[in-house]
Copies of this chain bind each other. A is one copy, B any other.
Amino acid sequence: MVKLPENVLAHGRTRNIMRETFEYGNKRKAQVGSDKVYDYSLGNPSVAPPRSVNDTVRDILSGELSDSIHAYTSAQGAYDNRKRLADSLQRRFGGNVSPDDLYFTVGAAAALTITFKALTVPDDEFILLAPFFSEYEVFLQNAGAKAVICQPDYKDFMPDFEAIEKAININTKGIVINSPNNPSGVVYDGAVIARLSELLRKKSEEIGHPIFLINDEPYREIVFDGKRAPWVPDFYDNTIVCYSYSKSLSIPGERIGYIYVPERVCGHDDVYAAVCGAGRMLGFVNAPSLFQKVVSICDGQTADMSVYERNRDLLYNSLVEMGFDCIRPGGTFYLLMKSPIENATEFCLSARKYDLLIVPTDSFRCPGYVRIAFCVETKTIENSLPLFAKLAADYNLG
């Protein structure tokens, strides 16, 4: 018989709970009608891409590049695309961004698998701050690195600095942050990033080598209340930015993003070369050429984000009024709600009787909570509120 790698097979056989709930929802919609099912399971942007995305595609295809746009680019991305992106980032965030600091990737997932593989030597550890996107652990496993999990301060879901300090040891290679955060919706402000940076500098000195701060920030532009997410490289030299256009431009299917290795990163040229080597080993020849160009032109633009803020207000205020215990999202399109019973999976299953599809965050290493992905039409939220009220009543809330 065929012997296959058990861990790889397991990752292929299991569907994450979000996908599973989504598939359930599709079946249910076929039974009762799609307007009767309130699917809050997936982080699939509901807002259309800005018109400029498809316009830019059309422009390129009707111009001189119509054929050559589909040719190979350099592994790190075509120089002119990296130059345009570097200029855009510099304009938006300041500092000194060079094309040779940028490496286009097939989305943020690829940015992370490449970064982890580029940095990891045997015994290396990366600190993950719960709650976090469950695939981080899968990606670290692929790189042969150990995941060390720190729980948050459950009061406000901000980092527990004491826990992080305790978790750091001689094998710590990096720490991954994801702010704005999936699934909690919290956004670290400048004070939090500054305090984390201070701690990392102190501990890097203690252990005798730098700790990389990997910022997975596909939600960077989805921040509410007129605020904006701090630009992490301003706070900490050894930051590596992993970005995706999936959420900001609503093009998750196109798989396009980048790794930014700022010039001040310790051993910059080696780290960048290792990124190139890791990309090559994993089979990423170059990021898709047409969309490399499209996003380098559209960088900084966004889909209509006001929908998400309106949804946040409506959903958060309503749920709190019903008596649910919720974290107020400062960004993203996720709302984290405490399960009224210890077993969040059981709670989510009980919500299905009202066709409310929400998911437990156990796989985000945050048991006892559920995630509500409000990247849906506002009408869906409005129609679902009476059902959430019934659910609250079932648990004697309010």
Contacts and interface: CB of A to CB of B under 8 A. Distances in A.
Contacts of A290: 253-254
A12 B274 contact: yes
A45 B70 CA distance: 10
Contacts of A142: 281-283
Chain B CB within 10 A, most for which of A8, A44, A112: A8
B58 A72 contact: no
A11 B280 contact: yes
Interface stretch (A47-55, A361-369, A378-386): A47-55
A61 B70 contact: no
Contacts of A2: 209-210, 266-267, 270-271
Given A2-B209, A54-B61, A72-B253, A281 B9 contact: no
Interface stretch (A85-93, A103-111, A151-159, A325-333): A103-111
Contacts of A191: none
A121 interface: yes
B273 A13 contact: yes
Interface in A346-367: none
Contacts of A53: 70
Nearest to A2: B267
Contacts of A198: none
A281 B139 contact: yes
A285 interface: yes
Nearest to A268: B2
11 contacts: A4-B121, A8-B118, A11-B277, A11-B278, A12-B275, A44-B71, A67-B250, A70-B254, A71-B253, A110-B284, A288-B288
